[in-house]
Amino acid sequence: MIDRKILHVDLDAFFASVEQLDNPSFKGKPIIVGGSSKRGVVATCSYEARKFGVHSAMSGFMAKKLCPNGIFLKPRMDRYAQISKEVFRILYEVTDHIERISVDEAYLDVTDSDRSPYKIASWIKTTVKNRIGITISVGISYNKFLAKLASDWNKPDGIFEIRPSDVPNILKPLSIIKVHGLGKKTADRLNSIGIFTVSDLLQCDRKTLSYFLGELRSNEIYNRIRGIDNRSLKIKTTRKSYGRETTFEEDIRSKPVIKEVLLQYLFELAFKLVKTNKSAKTVTIKIKFEDFSQITRSHSLLAYTNNLQTFEEAMVLLVDNLIIDKKIRLVGISLSNIV
Ligand SMILES: [Mg+2]
């Protein structure tokens, strides 16, 4: 599993960043979202507030004491959800292999992409910055644990890759609390017997670990600190369409060739539907010409289906009705209206 390409993306001080985005006079100031009511806790605070020692989950009372000039704001969850949606829309342009952790955090599996994960990570950062105006940190590695560690490496606005050859040296100096799955309580107990860093932990045999962590979790942690983490992404399919497209290296105009390519994609897409027990109702083809003009044509079926032949008939009909008077550089097909 060492050849997977996993990204962990994490928006920086998300709620506070949105407040600074919407109200430019908040830029560069200590913004504390949540904790304004008497018993409230801090949800997120800007990096300017973190300098005073404020952090999330801290009581508002404490935050006010540490940062009396902080700007305390009530959370605007609707607005954050809206921005989060825009960010995820960008992520889905990369892949649909996405595990959503929260409004501001996700894993992406980009193993199948022919672009390098670093290039993809840079694209995500630039695109989120340009289209939305906030920053995101991206960690790159070959499993979830290391990718998450990497996204935290030079936050905010960070990008960092942990390669197989970096392990275990990069992990050794880390405090054990950084190891995913090791809670504060367990860390305290391990500290009490002189285990503070991953390096210390690496010297523990399985027996000792199992004494402190229990059989099941000790195996997991034993592997994890050695850079092994085979957890796969938990992907919830909430996509509204399945699609594939391709750019031709040589220009084509031939309808039979287009049909052949699209049929191959349909086969994959229909298989995906069957596998996930879903059906679709709309078939859409997309054609981009040499001059970059683009057309889409859709056909809605009479009923929801995942039958390949039904999709094929619709696709053939759509292609037959096309007027092709220019060279084609891209064709694509998608199935939408999915239930
Ligand atoms: Mg975050």
Residue 200 lies in a domain: yes
* Centroid of ligand 1 to alpha carbon of 104 (angstroms): 5
What pLDDT sits at residue 55? 93
What pLDDT sits at residue 321? 92
Residues 48 and 20 in one domain: yes
Separation between Cα atoms, residue 219 and residue 331, nearest integer Å: 48
What pLDDT sits at residue 192? 93
What pLDDT sits at residue 140? 98
Residue 204 lies in a domain: yes
CA 175 vs CA 23, 191, 205: distances in Å: 37, 10, 18
Residue 318 lies in a domain: yes
Residue 236 lies in a domain: no
Residue 291 lies in a domain: yes
User: b/e string for 109-134 if b means 16 or more Cβ within 10 A?
Assistant: bbeeeeeebeebbeebbebbeeebeb
- Catalytic residues, which ones? 105
- Total domains in the fold of the chain: 4
What pLDDT sits at residue 223? 94
What pLDDT sits at residue 25? 97
Q: Which of 38, 57, 76 is the last residue of a domain?
A: 76
* Centroid of ligand 1 to alpha carbon of 198 (angstroms): 24
What does pTM read for this prediction?
Answer: 0.70
The total number of residues written for the chain in this structure: 339
Residue recorded with tokens 């390098």: 116
What pLDDT sits at residue 324? 87
* Centroid of ligand 1 to alpha carbon of 46 (angstroms): 11
Amino acid at position 60, single letter: G
Question: Is residue 196 exposed (0-12), middle (13-18) or buried (19+ Cβ within 10 Å)?
Answer: middle
Residues 220 and 293 in one domain: no
Residue 210 lies in a domain: yes
Q: Are the C-beta atoms of residues 331 and 312 closer than 8 Å to each other?
A: no
CA angle 205, 209, 210 (to 5 degrees): 115
Residues 58 and 27 in one domain: yes
* Centroid of ligand 1 to alpha carbon of 177 (angstroms): 18
Question: Is residue 147 exposed (0-12), middle (13-18) or buried (19+ Cβ within 10 Å)?
Answer: buried
Residue 233 lies in a domain: no
Residue 46 lies in a domain: yes
Range of the domain at 41: 14-76
What 181-187 contacts at long range (C-beta under 8 Å, 24+ apart), as own/partner pairs, is 181/217, 181/220, 181/221, 181/224, 182/213, 182/221, 186/212, 186/213
Residue 142 belongs to domain with CATH number: 3.30.70.270
Residue 321 belongs to domain with CATH number: 3.30.1490.100
Q: Running along the chain, 339 residues long, what does each successive block of 10 average in pLDDT?
A: 89 97 97 84 94 93 94 93 94 90 95 92 98 98 97 96 95 94 89 95 92 88 94 77 84 87 92 88 90 84 90 94 88 89
Sheet holding 280-289, edge to edge: 241-252, 328-336, 280-289, 294-305
Residues 115 and 159 in one domain: yes
Separation between Cα atoms, residue 282 and residue 290, nearest integer Å: 27
What pLDDT sits at residue 239? 61
